[in-house]
């Protein structure tokens, strides 16, 4: 049995610029933070020829081509695993439509476990690269490339997407207790509104010409934001995040916008300095920088989160 643990992620600023239609013309840039909420993938050898997959559904098949879960099917196919395997996924929090990168987290964690199952060790960067290939190139998901790198590699990092499809990672180090200072403020709040990230991102692509200048502005915010993180200028961090929220909320019109703004306005400015919806928008979790965790009211359930430092790792390996 092999168990991988892969963190969900919060995209602080830069979302939308990791889409190929944007970074193929001008480099995209995202700041991503891995959190201590995880997806666990359990891979176990079976002593019959069947393939068994346990997620929100249970699949028992005799052939890879019969698998309905496209990511599992294509990961097995790519790694040439044809039979006699059972795969189970477990998530710390409900993941569908969360805005925390759960689909890519699942893909990275599955690939990590499958490589170890085959007796191979690969880098976290390669796991992210291969997860992009599975989700975007093979399965055709209209998504960007930030989530795969955000979940595969731990900590806080600036991820740059170049026009030649290469990806550069700059890790923002935990100096002068930066991570602890962020953890003392960081909360996530479930909007209880679900959405398909693919649908939201497709709408953004359809409005590309209209959104181009907004996306360029978002890239410039990323550059400033990373400098403020390194210098620990939190007042500027709060201002930048609020500016980012205003720009990002204009990328797609939504019937849910009023409900999301109601939640945002409940927390800001009374309880929190700044915040944003996680992921593509239109639902899922908010993240906020709280002024005082002890003074938050209980109208909305919130979770304190810490920064994951490790990224996707194997926490149990007893391969028989």
Q: What percent of the chain has pLDDT over 70?
A: 90
Least confident residue range of 173-187, 196-210, 225-239, 294-308: 196-210
Torsion of CA 313, 157, 252, 98, to 10 degrees: 30
Chain Cα centroid distance, residue 21: 19
Asked whether residue 85 carries a pLDDT value surpassing 80, the answer given is: yes
Q: What is the pLDDT of residues 113-139, one digit of tens each?
A: 999 999 999 999 999 999 999 999 999
**Cα 81 to Cα 97: distance, rounded to the nearest angstrom:** 29
Q: Give the pLDDT score at 283.
A: 76
In CATH, what is the architecture of 178-304? Answer: 2-Layer Sandwich (3.30)
Q: Which residues are registered as beta bridge partners of 66? A: none
Asked whether residue 256 carries a pLDDT value surpassing 90, the answer given is: no
Taking a C-beta distance cutoff of 8 angstroms, is the pair 282, 158 a contact? no
| Burial (0-12, 13-18, 19+ Cβ within 10 Å), 27 | middle
Domain with CATH 3.30.70.890 in the chain: 178-304
Q: Which two tokens stand for residue 88?
A: 């189970």
Closest CA to 192 of 96, 102, 104, 290: 96
Q: Which two tokens stand for residue 211?
A: 């959104």
Domain with CATH 3.30.230.10 in the chain: 2-173
For 141, the enclosing helix (H) or strand (E) is none
Assign domain 2-173 to a CATH class.
alpha beta
What value does the mean pLDDT take over residues 250-265?
Answer: 73
Scan for tokens 């993938």, then name that residue: 41
Q: Give the pLDDT score at 130.
A: 98
What value does the mean pLDDT take over residues 70-79?
Answer: 98
Q: Give the pLDDT score at 254.
A: 55
Taking a C-beta distance cutoff of 8 angstroms, is the pair 138, 153 a contact? no
Q: Give the pLDDT score at 217.
A: 85
What value does the mean pLDDT take over residues 245-272?
Answer: 78
Q: Which two tokens stand for residue 279?
A: 């992921």
Q: What is the pLDDT of residues 169-223, one digit of tens each?
A: 999 999 999 999 999 999 999 888 765 555 555 555 556 666 787 888 888 889 9
Q: What is the pLDDT of residues 46-64, one digit of tens each?
A: 999 999 999 999 999 999 9
Q: Give the pLDDT score at 167.
A: 97
Write phi, then psi, for 169 (nearest 5 degrees): -115, 125
Q: Give the pLDDT score at 284.
A: 86
Chain mean pLDDT for the chain: 90
Q: Please report how many Cα atoms fall inside a 13 Å half-sphere around the Cα of residue 12, on the Cβ side.
A: 31
Least confident residue range of 17-21, 107-111, 297-301: 297-301
Taking residue 232's Cβ as centre, other Cβ atoms within 10 Å add up to 14
Q: Which two tokens stand for residue 99?
A: 């805005």
Q: Give the pLDDT score at 1.
A: 95
């Amino acid at each position: 049995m092999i168990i991988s643990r892969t963190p969900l992620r919060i995209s602080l600023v830069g979302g939308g610029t990791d889409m190929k239609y944007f970074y193929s013309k001008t480099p995209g840039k995202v700041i991503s933070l891995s959190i201590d909420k995880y997806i666990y993938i359990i891979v176990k050898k079976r002593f019959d020829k069947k393939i068994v997959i346990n997620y929100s559904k249970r699949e028992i098949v005799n052939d890879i081509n019969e698998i309905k879960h496209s990511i599992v099917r294509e990961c097995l196919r790519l790694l040439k695993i044809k039979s006699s395997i059972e795969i189970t996924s477990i998530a710390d929090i409900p993941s569908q439509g969360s805005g925390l990168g759960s689909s890519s987290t699942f893909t990275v964690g599955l690939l990590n476990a499958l490589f170890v199952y085959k007796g191979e060790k690969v880098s976290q960067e390669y796991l992210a690269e291969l997860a992009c290939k599975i989700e975007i190139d093979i399965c055709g998901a209209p998504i960007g490339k930030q989530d795969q790198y955000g979940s595969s590699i731990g900590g806080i990092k600036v991820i740059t997407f170049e026009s030649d499809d290469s990806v550069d990672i700059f890790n923002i180090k935990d100096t002068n207790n930066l991570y602890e200072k962020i953890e003392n403020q960081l909360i996530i709040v479930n909007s209880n509104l679900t959405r398909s990230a693919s649908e939201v991102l497709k709408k953004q692509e359809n409005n590309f010409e209209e959104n181009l200048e907004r996306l360029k502005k978002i890239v410039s915010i990323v550059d400033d934001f990373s400098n403020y993180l390194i210098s620990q200028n939190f007042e500027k961090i709060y201002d930048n995040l609020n500016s980012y929220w205003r720009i990002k909320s204009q990328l797609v019109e939504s019937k849910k916008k009023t409900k999301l703004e109601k939640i945002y306005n409940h927390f800001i400015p009374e309880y929190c300095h700044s915040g944003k919806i996680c992921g593509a928008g239109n639902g899922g979790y908010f993240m906020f920088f709280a002024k005082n965790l002890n003074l938050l009211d209980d109208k909305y359930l919130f979770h304190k989160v810490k920064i994951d430092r490790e990224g996707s790792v194997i926490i149990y390996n007893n391969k028989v």
